[in-house]
Amino acid sequence: MLDISFTEILVIATVALVVLGPEKLPGVARTLGHLLGRAQRYANSVKQDIRREMELDELRKLDGSLRETARAIEDGVRTEIHSLQDTVTGTRSTPPAPPPSTHEEIPGRSRADPRSADEP
């Protein structure tokens, strides 16, 4: 966090001992330690919040792309269903072919023709 070498810390401690005196120095050091710990915890919580927001942003982007893919698949399935329904409806709209006759008929004569029974 702070780029302070050991010798710089030693100089700061010596100046603090001279300025504050030996009675107040432990209390000030304790208070300074608490404040430094609080600052570190605050910085860590800010870092975690930023990471969470970045992850949420990535998840939102992923969610959007998944929704687009799902819509594309759904549209494709609907198109196929409609084309199959049109195909099935198209085959049903044509009347079925009459079943083949099981009786042999003489060409040129119909079954309802009364002459067919009289003529040899």
Q: Please give the share of the chain, as a percent, with pLDDT higher than 70.
A: 73
pLDDT of 97 strictly over 70: no
- The single residue listed with the structure tokens 């930023």 is 50
What is the structure's pLDDT at 9?
84
In this structure, is residue 22 part of a structural domain?
yes
How many domains does the chain fold into?
2
pLDDT of 80 strictly over 70: yes
Parent domain of 38: 7-54
- The single residue listed with the structure tokens 């792309």 is 65
In this structure, is residue 38 part of a structural domain?
yes
48 and 12 inside one domain: yes
What is the structure's pLDDT at 36?
92
SS3 of residue 24 by DSSP:
coil
32 and 70 inside one domain: no
pLDDT of 2 strictly over 80: no
pTM of structure: 0.45
In this structure, is residue 99 part of a structural domain?
no
In this structure, is residue 114 part of a structural domain?
no
Please give the Cα distance from 61 to 52 (Å, whole number): 14
SS3 of residue 92 by DSSP:
helix
50 and 11 inside one domain: yes
Helix, strand, coil percentages for the chain (3-state, nearest 5) = 75, 0, 25
Cβ atoms of 28 and 70 closer than 8 Å: no
Cβ atoms of 38 and 47 closer than 8 Å: no
